[in-house]
């Protein structure tokens, strides 16, 4: 068992860890495809316990509550990505990111527009022209601030880059609503180097009750598949209606 602290800079909502980043921490030492399940809010700037090995990992709060689990997965659990758009098409889609005109999570590590280069990832996925509603893309170039000593982007940062696009795929398709990442099953085939231009894509899969599933993928600018993931989002309950005045 080892101690781990998820710093404030890796937030999703202001008071909890970015779902993709935390899922990536649970998956990074599992060879091949892996599944991360987020069971509760991930506290920030708080000592947590991360225990396990190549078979599975468990993240525990100071009170002993299991708040996340990582385990091996099958390649069959991963989605087949549509062909990626070109760099120019992804760049054009980026300009249509719905978060440009609306505030969602402005300081989110993955998609927050108020995070500067090298502080947040600034992944702004938008609708691909001519594609089905919810098929999104954008460009992303990993910053050197996130690279390991070997110059490669860490697994947890790659998972974070694939996090929010899956949510926005459903927002574009169904309209604005709140949802939390519950499960992410992913595989990193090749880690991009810092400064290597990449394309992020996302597309909605199925909706059942309060569950929305999405596919996400990371490609090189030339179309090489670098990583892919299947996500399960839990739609938050609608807020109560205000009482009608008599």
Domain count, the chain: 1
Do the domain assignments include residue 21? yes
Do the domain assignments include residue 38? yes
Which is higher by pLDDT, 202 or 2?
202
Domain containing 80: what range? Answer: 2-235
DSSP-assigned letters across all residues of the chain: -EEEE--GGGBSSTTSB-HHHHHHHHHTTSSSSEEEEE-S---SSSEEEEEE-SS-EEEE-TTS-EEEEEEE--GGGSPPPPPPPPHHHHHHHHTT-GGGTS-S-TT-TTT-TTSPBTTB-----EEPTTSPTT-EEEEE---GGG--TTSBPPHHHHHHHTHHHHHHHHHHHH-S--EEEEEEEEEESSPPBTT--EEEEEEEEEEETTEEEEEEEEEETT--EEEEEEEEEEEPPPPPPPPPP-
Do the domain assignments include residue 242? no
Rounded to the nearest integer, the mean pLDDT of the chain is 93
Do the domain assignments include residue 241? no
Q: Binning pLDDT at 50, 70 and 90, where does residue 103 land?
A: confident
Do the domain assignments include residue 245? no
Do the domain assignments include residue 224? yes
Q: Binning pLDDT at 50, 70 and 90, where does residue 150 land?
A: very high
Give me the CATH number covering residue 89: 2.40.160.210
Do the domain assignments include residue 243? no
In the prediction, which pLDDT does 242 show?
Answer: 46
Do the domain assignments include residue 7? yes
pLDDT tens-digit map of 63-101 = 999 999 999 999 999 999 999 999 999 999 999 999 988
Please give the average per-residue pLDDT across 158-170, as a whole number.
Answer: 98
């Amino acid at each position: 068992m080892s101690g781990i602290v998820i710093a404030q800079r890796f937030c999703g909502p202001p008071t909890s860890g970015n779902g993709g980043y935390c899922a990536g921490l649970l998956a990074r030492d599992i060879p091949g495809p892996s599944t991360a399940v987020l069971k509760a809010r991930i506290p920030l700037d708080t000592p947590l316990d991360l225990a396990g090995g190549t078979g599975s990992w468990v993240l525990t709060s100071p009170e002993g509550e299991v708040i996340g689990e990582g385990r091996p997965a099958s390649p069959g659990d991963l989605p087949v990505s549509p062909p990626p758009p070109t760099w120019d098409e992804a760049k054009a889609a980026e300009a249509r990111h719905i978060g440009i005109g609306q505030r969602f999570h402005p300081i989110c590590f993955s998609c927050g527009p108020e995070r500067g280069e090298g502080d947040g990832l600034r992944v702004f996925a938008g609708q691909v022209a001519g594609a089905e509603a919810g098929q999104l893309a954008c460009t992303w170039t990993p910053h050197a601030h996130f690279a390991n000593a070997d110059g490669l982007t860490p697994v947890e940062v790659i998972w974070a880059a694939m996090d929010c696009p899956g949510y926005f795929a459903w927002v574009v398709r169904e309209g604005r609503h709140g949802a939390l990442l519950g499960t992410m099953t992913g595989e990193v085939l090749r880690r991009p180097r810092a400064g290597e231009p990449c394309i992020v894509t996302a597309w909605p899969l199925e909706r059942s009750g309060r569950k929305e599933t999405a596919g996400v993928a990371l490609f090189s600018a030339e179309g090489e598949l670098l990583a892919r993931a299947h996500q399960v989002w839990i739609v938050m309950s609608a807020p109560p209606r205000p009482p009608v005045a008599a």
